[in-house]
Structure 1
Amino acid sequence: MMEAAGNSSWWDFHALSENPRKPVEWSNSSIIFTAHALQPLILARHFSSSKQFTLPLPTPILSNPSAYKPPTVITCSSDDNWLFAFFPGRGEDGLSCLWNKGVELDSWAVKEWWMFAQSAGVVAARWLGGAREWIIDSTTGVPARLPPQGPRTPVSNPTLVLVTENHRIFVCYLRYYKLTLQMFSCSLLQPSATFEQQSDNSKDELIEVDSVRICTHAAIGTTYGDSIILIAMRSQVFPVSSLTLDQTDQFSLDLGLSLDMEPEQTEIYPISCEDPGEDSKIEIAKVQLQYNGSRMILSSKVLPAIQNAPHRLRDLLFVCKPPSNGGTSPSNLYLVAGFLDFKDYTSPPLSSLHCYTFTKTDATSEEGTWTMQPKITREFDTVVLAQVVASQPVNKDHGIYVCVYNTSDTQARGTRQAEKSVGQLKTLKIPELTDDDAWDSSPLLSRFRREVSVNSVVSPGQTLLCTIYPSPWTSEVSTLKLPEPKATDAPPTGSIPPLALSIVVAVLSNRSTDDLTHALLQPATPLSEVAEVLYHVFTLLDRHLPGSYTLQLGLIVESYRSRTLRAISKVHDKDRTDAVWRATHDMISVATCNAVFSDCTDGEEYHTELIWQMIDLSSWILGLAETLVKECILSSDFNESTGSTKEAQEDVFGSSPPTKNTNLRSLESPVFMHFVHPQALKNLRIALGHVNQFRKYLTRLTPTTENSQLSKEVLIDLVEHSGIDIQGLDEILERLEKSVEGFDEDDLRRAMVSCQPAEYMQIPLRETVNSMSKSPALNKAKLFLGVHEMIDGQAQTDRPRKDSSRDKDVVSKGLLLHRAQGMNCVRCGGRSEYGKDPLASRPMTNWEKSWARRCLCGGSWTRATYSS
């Protein structure tokens, strides 16, 4: 008998009282980092993949993993090159670790690790000195750079700010041209100042008569156009049975210790955890980090605290709005605090949200006074507030996101029903804390039982929310769709889709677009909508980022390939999207081949040490040309060729043609974009010209070694037996190029996003196709009846051929040697071994270095194994 559903009880939400929370971080390269549920490990995976990897551990954890808890703080720098985490100790000192990312997304190495004493662990962390953010006008589509946020760091990278349990702020940094990590700190409970490399003589004012205060929650806030840092702290008071002055001295962290040596274990003061009480105030400190030309200076000043704040603090975060109308004056800072009160544990908890506004009185002065305005409060009576997450400016300022859960449930418990909404993900205005009517809400779904998320993070593109759920055995994560702007009945003519604006901002900011194009992968999204979004993206990029041809093609590859992999029911859509991304990837490869030939050419001479690499490229270019030419011949109008249809077909194939090729093919195939797009056609002609020039160079070259003689014969054999007279084909393409140069740019953009030539574009294309079918520059017998396709004199046109692209290096187009661990592209799925071959003696060329961190399609690399 099924158990009847009813109202929720306090235990359904008790996981929200967990402190510290399970950390979760979503980097700008779309890597999601979480903490292992039981072990001191950091788990990570790329958003588009289900494959998980772990970060390497520092020596102390490797030698004694049972001495440390799972990390409580994980944060990644904005440039994705650095990651920080703090591991509390189990009755021992806690450990902080800094990782540095390698070439691949999943390649990380421990840079530094250092210890923090018990009751002095890290509570909050924030990176400083990141690149200025981009924002885009939702009406005009004009992008702009926001002012710098927080203090500048002209001599250090990375620069990390930490707030610890003993109410201190630490600045951890790497000086330019120095290999070791440096740090210095000052107190947040009293005015203090310290210089870089100055010995720490400060004393922690933490001790009261019969208690000690430990910081349990902290928020670090910075604002646009000002170097100030605001720190908000909530403490908990623990009774102390006995405390001496000497034991107090042991509470501070000795910064004079070497970073690569673990400090000696010291006995800390005894703390009785009975009846700990939450402090009634939220302390505020103002911090400045300055550079005087030789050293950095860190100073702090205590501001008036927030008195009589409610108990049971759940969320504490700063929110900063971008300046309006492109202004440079400092913006207001908003401190948002969420509270969750379980009362006497007889009913669901009561939730409230408070917003405190901090305003700088003298905006022109660096030492201006920051004052706090009266708070704004919102109570949640019928729902429970679970998460509060700040949004980042993209195309519209919309405050914060909140997750609220219903306290009543009509779904029968234990039944296997479809996902049902158990709450809402809403957008609130800042500082009003009211629902933003311009935005829809998103449902919070649960399949079998009520699951309340304990922490969450917004994706870099502000489209998805990654949530983590309480579990004693594993880290369960889920992604939710963030609220979207409400659709209007009659959108303005020429309006730009919000998703297109977000993609443009991500491209300008050099961020991953995986979370944005994810919205285009859903089966319910028609291909016409995908093309419309990309069209607006390319229009804005052409306007504000000239020369982004290959970058735009990379976005097409990402959008259509991901949709191909997810397509299940619609076979036609899957075939279409597969053809689109492959044709687009070929266009990128052609442009890449031209860049390689240009880099390896010195006038009319070639770099002899790269002969075989250029032969691989020439072979790929000729193979692509053969594929395109054969598609043209099969699509030609035989009725307009010489003689009857049958005679013309016999002239093409040299014998009776296969039955399946007798019908006229459409010229809407994605491969024909190579001929109708001016840039693609120009690149193809240049590539064929490089092959022809390279062949002439090897022909007149007198071989001095067996290797040079072999390379010469291989390339000459490739060209002469390809079935294509390059010079004759180029004359045909030259006439076509004169015709396509007059095509409208807007029409070309629409044709490119759908990878389908428009009807009027097919007119000169049809003439070219028919010219190819009659041209003596193409040897039809060699094109269609290759030796590898003949067995006992019969053409094997129906025999499926294995896709050999997985055996080729996506960059060099040569065979994968499998002599070292290669790299996989997360965007196109291509594999490369560039820079990984341990037997390679020569240094990498410029064009090889250019693809070291990214694939030619613009995708990031991950490590590949032979079996993957």
Structure 2
Amino acid sequence: MKVTPGSPSKGKLKEESSWNSGWYDFYPAIEHPRRQVSSDFDPQSRAERLSSPVEWSDSSIIFTGHGMRPVICGRYFSSSKQFILPSPPPLQTEPDSYEPVSVISVSPDDEWLFAYFPGHNVPGVCCFWKRGVELDKWTVRDWWTTPAGVVKAEWIGSGREWICDPVSGKPTRLPFRGPRTPVSTATVLLVTENRQVILCYFRHGASNFKMLSCSLSKPSFTNESTSKTETEVANDLNTVRICTSAALALNYYGKCSRSFLRAPPTKSVTSTDSFIIVATRSQKYPLPLTNGQYNPIDISAPIDLDQTRMEVLRNIPEDYEEESTIDLCAVQLNFNGAMMSLITHPLPSIHTKEAKLKDMHFAVQPKTDPAAPGGLYLVANYFEFQDYTTVPVSSVECYSLARSTENPNAWVVNQESSRKFDEGVVTFVTPCKPISGTWGVIAGVYWKSGTQPRASAKLKETPVGSLHILSIPTLTNDEEWETSPILKASDKPGQDVCINVIASPNNTLLCTVSASVWTTQTSLQGIPQRKLKMVDSLSAALVAAILSQRATTDISHQLSHHSLSSNVISDVLVHCFSVLDDHHKASARTWIQQVGVCLETYRLKASRTTHKHEREEADARWQIAHDICSLTACNLIFEECKEGEDFNTDAVWQLVDVSTWIMAFLEKMMRECILQWDLASSAHSDDPSDIPPDMLHFAHPQASRNVLDAVMNVKKFREFLGALTARSENSQIAKDVLIDQVDCSGIDLAGVIPILNELHDSLQTVDGEVSLTCPYAFRSLTNEKPLKLDNGSHHANL
């Protein structure tokens, strides 16, 4: 990047300047593996690559590799705390023999993580981790060494995804994606540098991983009794083909709502459901000369070299460019009731332009009609550096894949469209997740030049490009979606372009990784939004996330932005809760998830806003939600510590702590009730805005049930300890502490319970119908005007 001074303005001491990117700023984004030339070269040995993998799990953990060490770092978004995954034994004993991680992949259920560490003159290491109860607790489950580096990893056997129909707004589920795995768990498909596909899995009841491998370059078959690994044969005497990029397509099995996605024109093809399609891009590398290939030369003797061997040496090209084809292969995973088998069928290759491949992804569309095939397209992004004097020319191409109806064994591969980007360089393309409600790709366009912001402006970030949603298969900008800027640090515009990218679990943010030799530089970018009401877009994402049991942190991050008012946040949350209530009359479990979303959103809002009034308001709301969640947790603790009708004495001190917190909460609520009754009696005000949000505990059936259960648990525990004969000094002290807390609190638990019972019963029926969620009762959490309470007599009794 070069900074060019602009023309000074009259009367201004400082000049404006502009920045211009060079080809060298973009080249790190497409660097492929570089082979080490050595006499003991192995075609399956490690390929050194500049790679910065990144993964964003459904539990909102961002996994990245360390810039210099063979370790994996995890960070919970949006926290600054990091943790490091434990390393397998080879990386612990000889860390200098291994490079930073080149492949990271998290399973869809967030229970497993796979990673590959290239070796330095030693075979690389593949490793599987298993997650514990805590999100940051991972253990090494299995590992092995492999001479052939792993290029791509894809998990199969995931569950059906939830989405919200963009037309009706109702939640629905997509069909299964990929083949079913009835007898295995943690099933992952690997593509290696020697153009092999390897299926790794745990069979139910087995303690170790099993593997099936087949060649991608020729038809092959293997099952659990005949599995073997084949070595890829070089094409000629002096070179070996190494896979440098790969993409896998898992097709949908079944029919989806027609209104979910706009289908491309129907063709005369048949379904590809039963296949996993693998696309690979290879590059030739020279085979180095062996030590014994030439005889020692006596420098005193006349030079008389073998002409044949010299000719071989001269025929070795100095530069081995990547091949101008994309190889395709269909992979079938079968189960006959006893054994799993793997079958590969090579397909016709795609002939492409002679350019550097940056990205390659499949875009898969579910069926909208049982008789029609689902859409399967391959999107590739290319760089053309020409003479290395200007920034590269980038282009994106789209190819369709299907089987012909005339010959089921023949495949039809066509180039559907090609688009050049003159306004900038497309540094990445990545498919939109189904939850977004669109079937397309996100393209990141970096500008070639721009204006350098003034130092006096004190801007932390400046736009250096834009994000676009491209339609499939036309590759045109989707008119239903807006564009969003790509922001970079103001002191580095045009530098450190993105080399890797991953979308957040709910497709609202992008985590980008920039090229750096020493550190892993990550940044967050906002994904373009639909040109519709923000309330509909964000509430639909929230509904799908809650039903899918995914973390909602990325959505809460968007909701807590300073540009969104409290009314917008309220509308999004209430609309989401209403949809969930209409969907299945949400149970207590989904209700507490809704409270958790309120807690997360308003806590982020309080930490990010600069307005005192908004911060106080957000603080009050998230603390109410926190109390509700805490009461739920306390009740669960009491249930877990029960032994029949009694309590486990080993957990007596823990239960005393829980009871102490509940009694303090009751005292606080008593003060609020007394204050509210005194104010209402003196002012005779019926304004709902005068009622404090804390009263939600007595305005919602689930919240009031929480309070009632907590009071009953403390009362039972007090009676249990009161009747217990002390067996030790420790239990006697615990008994005395709890009795002091309960009996000296000034609250008659026996008198409070009937009042809470009556209050809870009165909240069960709303407008003649039983409501478990009462979404509009959340107004006390989500709106500036809390819900009016109609149970003043109960508050007076309390």
Is the TM value for this pair above 0.5? yes
SS in 2 for 1:277: coil
Report 1:65-464 matches (<5 A).
65-117=95-147, 120-200=148-228, 202=230, 204-225=232-253, 226-240=273-287, 274-324=318-368, 327=370, 331-361=374-404, 369-411=410-452, 418=459, 419-446=461-488, 447-448=490-491, 449-451=493-495, 452-464=497-509
CA distance in 2, matches of 1:108, 1:243: 44
Q: Counterpart amino acid of 2:711?
A: L
Is 2:567–2:783's contact at 8 Å kept on the other side of the alignment? no
Q: Which moved more, 1:19-28 or 1:127-136?
A: 19-28
Note the alpha carbon deviations across 1:671-697, whole angstroms, 9 max, x for none: 111112222223322322333344344
CA distance in 1, matches of 2:344, 2:439: 31
Q: Counterpart amino acid of 2:31?
A: E
CA distance in 2, matches of 1:702, 1:747: 43
Is 1:751–1:758's contact at 8 Å kept on the other side of the alignment? no
Alignment-derived partner of residue 71 in structure 2? 41
Q: Counterpart amino acid of 2:477?
A: D
CA distance in 1, matches of 2:59, 2:667: 37
CA distance in 2, matches of 1:420, 1:699: 67
Q: Which moved more, 1:587-596 or 1:504-513?
A: 587-596
Is 1:141–1:496's contact at 8 Å kept on the other side of the alignment? no
The CA deviation at 1:320 is: 0.8
CA distance in 2, matches of 1:735, 1:286: 65
Report 1:659-678 matches (<5 A).
667-678=690-701
The CA deviation at 1:593 is: 3.2
Q: Which moved more, 1:605-614 or 1:175-184?
A: 605-614
The CA deviation at 1:206 is: 3.1
CA distance in 2, matches of 1:9, 1:346: 8
The CA deviation at 1:549 is: 1.9
TM-score (norm 2): 0.83
Report 1:588-667 matches (<5 A).
588-598=629-639, 600-601=641-642, 604-637=645-678, 640=681, 667=690
Q: Does 1:62 align with 2:75?
A: no
Note the alpha carbon deviations across 1:504-536, whole angstroms, 9 max, x for none: 111222211111111111122111211111112
Root mean square deviation of aligned Cα: 3.2
The CA deviation at 1:700 is: 4.6
Q: Does 1:749 align with 2:775?
A: yes
Alignment-derived partner of residue 864 in structure 1? none
Q: Counterpart amino acid of 1:11?
A: Y
The CA deviation at 1:758 is: 9.8
Q: Does 1:15 align with 2:16?
A: no
CA distance in 2, matches of 1:697, 1:618: 13
CA distance in 1, matches of 2:146, 2:164: 42
CA distance in 1, matches of 2:420, 2:785: 60
Note the alpha carbon deviations across 1:124-182, whole angstroms, 9 max, x for none: 11111111222221232322222221122112211111111111111111221111122
CA distance in 2, matches of 1:174, 1:607: 38
CA distance in 2, matches of 1:204, 1:756: 61
CA distance in 1, matches of 2:700, 2:317: 72
The CA deviation at 1:429 is: 0.4
The CA deviation at 1:574 is: 1.6
Is 1:132–1:147's contact at 8 Å kept on the other side of the alignment? yes
Alignment-derived partner of residue 812 in structure 1? none
CA distance in 2, matches of 1:197, 1:561: 55
Is 1:332–1:360's contact at 8 Å kept on the other side of the alignment? no
Measured at CA, do residues 51 and 340 of structure 1 come closer, stay the same or move farther in structure 2, by a change above 3 Å? same
Give 1 or 2: higher strand fraction.
Answer: 2
Measured at CA, do residues 104 and 604 of structure 1 come closer, stay the same or move farther in structure 2, by a change above 3 Å? closer
Is 2:436–2:506's contact at 8 Å kept on the other side of the alignment? no
Is 1:216–1:235's contact at 8 Å kept on the other side of the alignment? yes
Is 1:311–1:339's contact at 8 Å kept on the other side of the alignment? yes
The CA deviation at 1:748 is: 4.4
Note the alpha carbon deviations across 1:67-115, whole angstroms, 9 max, x for none: 2221211111111121112222223322222222222222222222222
Q: Which moved more, 1:199-208 or 1:472-481?
A: 199-208
The CA deviation at 1:576 is: 1.8
Q: Does 1:557 align with 2:599?
A: yes
The CA deviation at 1:346 is: 1.9
CA distance in 1, matches of 2:783, 2:757: 19
Alignment-derived partner of residue 685 in structure 1? 708
Alignment-derived partner of residue 510 in structure 2? 465
The CA deviation at 1:392 is: 1.1
Q: Counterpart amino acid of 2:707?
A: L
SS in 2 for 1:157: strand
CA distance in 1, matches of 2:465, 2:125: 38
The CA deviation at 1:771 is: 4.6
Is 1:95–1:116's contact at 8 Å kept on the other side of the alignment? yes
CA distance in 2, matches of 1:581, 1:550: 13
The CA deviation at 1:200 is: 2.2
Q: Counterpart amino acid of 1:755?
A: L
Is 1:128–1:151's contact at 8 Å kept on the other side of the alignment? yes
CA distance in 1, matches of 2:355, 2:91: 36
Q: Counterpart amino acid of 1:576?
A: E
Q: Which moved more, 1:455-464 or 1:685-694?
A: 685-694
Is 2:280–2:327's contact at 8 Å kept on the other side of the alignment? yes
The CA deviation at 1:640 is: 4.3
Note the alpha carbon deviations across 1:646-683, whole angstroms, 9 max, x for none: xxxxxxxxxxxxxxxxxx99743221111122222233
SS in 1 for 2:52: coil
TM-score (norm 1): 0.77
CA distance in 2, matches of 1:388, 1:2: 30
CA distance in 2, matches of 1:59, 1:608: 42
The CA deviation at 1:698 is: 4.2
CA distance in 2, matches of 1:235, 1:759: 62
Q: Which 5+ residue runs of structure 2 have no aligned equivalent?
A: 7-17, 33-48, 254-272, 294-314
Note the alpha carbon deviations across 1:189-211, whole angstroms, 9 max, x for none: 11111111425274533332443
Measured at CA, do residues 187 and 605 of structure 1 come closer, stay the same or move farther in structure 2, by a change above 3 Å? closer
Measured at CA, do residues 329 and 143 of structure 1 come closer, stay the same or move farther in structure 2, by a change above 3 Å? farther
The CA deviation at 1:765 is: 4.3
Is 1:341–1:349's contact at 8 Å kept on the other side of the alignment? yes
Is 2:697–2:704's contact at 8 Å kept on the other side of the alignment? yes
